[in-house]
Structure 1
C-alpha cells in the first residue's frame, strides 16, 4: 500500500459541476493519490475514460494503485498538466479537473522540504527530475528576484527588507534546511500573536517559484481549453489569491465576445468575436463547513467552473 494518501477536497462539488457520465472522457491534471479520479471513474461507469497526470512520481504510483479496480478505463502519466494537450487528443474531453497547490503527503514528508513545521532539506520540488530546488533558489537568486516573488506570489510584507537580509545571511552561511530558514525569518519577524508562522508566506513563494506554478497554470488552462469539446467543463480548485487571479483573468479573456488588438483593451479598437468559454460560477464555490471541520486544509479552497462554447 502506498504511503501517498491524500484527502481530496470538494469532491461532491466537483462531481456536481463536472457531471461525469457513462461514455464520457475526463482529465485529472493533478491526479494526486487518485481520490477525485476514482470518484469520476465510478460516476462515469461502465465505460467512462480518464486521463490522469501528476508532476509527482509518488502521486502517480499511488493513483495507479487506487484506480486498479478501474483497469482498462484510464491512462496515467508522470508529467506536468501544462503539457496535457501533447498527449490528450484535442477536442476529445467532456471535463478537465485541476486541483492546484501542494498535497498533504508532500507537506507531511520532511524529506520533501515543503513544510516549515518539520526539519528537512530545502527541496520543494514536485517533480524530483528537475534540478532547481528551494536551496538553490534562496542561495543563488538575485535579491531583486527574491523580493519580487515574495511580494507577487505571497503578498509578503517587507519583501525587499527580507530579501536583503537573506542576501546578507547567505554570504555568511548557506541556507540548507527548512528549520534554518524558518528560524531565520521568525527571528526577524516575530509572530506577535498571529496564528500562522512568520515564514509561511516565504515558503509559499519559494514553492511556487521552484515549481513555476503560475506559469504552469497559465499553460495548463490553455491546454485544458484545447482538449475540451464544446459543452465540456473546466473545474479549477485554487488555494490562494495568486492562483485565483490567474484563473479569473483567463476566464474573463476567454468569455469575452470581442478581442483586443495588441492585448490592450481599448473600447474603440475592439473586434467582435464569439466567446470561447462561459462562466458557470459567477462566484467561487467554497467547501462546506462540515468539510472544513473534518479537513482544515480545505478551508482556503475555491472552485471555479467554465464551460467551452
Structure 2
C-alpha cells in the first residue's frame, strides 16, 4: 500500500516505521528539525526494540500525490490545519484518512474537511515518546491500532490496511463498532489525564487517595458515551478501574504532562469536550464541568505568564 504519515512524532514515527519495515510504501510528511533528521539520518526506534530505517520524507504533499491511506498523527489541535495544508494533494477517490488522536474530535474535524466517506476513525495504544527529532523511544504497551469507517462498513482499503498492520506486527482487531471502541478509550485516558493534571497526581494516587473524584469523573464520561450510543457493558466503570489498577502506578498521560508543563495541550478535545457532548444528549456532568474549567483557567494563565 501507498501510505502517507502526517507527523513523524511519537505516534506517527512508530507506526510509520513498523509499516515501512514490513515493506509498505511509506512517506512521511514532516517539517523543520524532524524533516531534516529523517532525510539526513533516517528514522530510528529505540527502547524495547532497535530499528533504523532510511525513509521517504517531504514537506510538500504534491510530491507524493494521492495515496491509499493517510495516518493523521498530529496533536488534535493541529488536525484542521494539517488537513487543509496536506490532504488535498493526498486524498484520492478511495483514500482512507486514519485518526490516531485521543478523544472524539479528530474524526469530526476531518469529516468537515474531506467528507465522512474518507474518514477512518482509529485508536492507538502504544507507549512512545520523542527522544529527539527522528528518534522514537518505544517504552512498551500493547502496540495496537484499531481502525474502522464512519458507518462501520467494510471497504477494500480498510481490509487491506488492517492486513498491512498485521504484517507489520501491529495488533489490530476487525471491530464492527469503532465508535464504542473510541468511547472505551475515552473513559480510560481522559479522566486519568484530567484528574491527574488537576491534582498533579500519578495514576496510583488517583486510584488511592483521589479515588472518589476519579470514579465520579469516569462515571460521567460513561453516561455521556452511553447516551451517544456507546455499547458499554454494565460494569464498565469497575472494569476500567481494574484495568488501570494493573498499570504502573507512577504513570501519567501525555495530556497531563503537557498541562502540568504549561505546553499547548489537547484540553479542548479531551476533558474540555465532555461537558458539551453531555449537553448534546441531556446528560449533566458537574464534576467534568469543574475540572474542564479549572484546567482551562490554568492554561490561560500559563499562556499569559
TM range (shorter): under 0.3
Q: Give me the TM-score of the superposition, normalised by structure 1.
A: 0.26
Structure with the higher fraction of residues in helix conformation: 2
Identify which of structures 1 and 2 has the higher relative contact order when contacts are C-alpha pairs closer than 8 Å and 6+ apart.
1
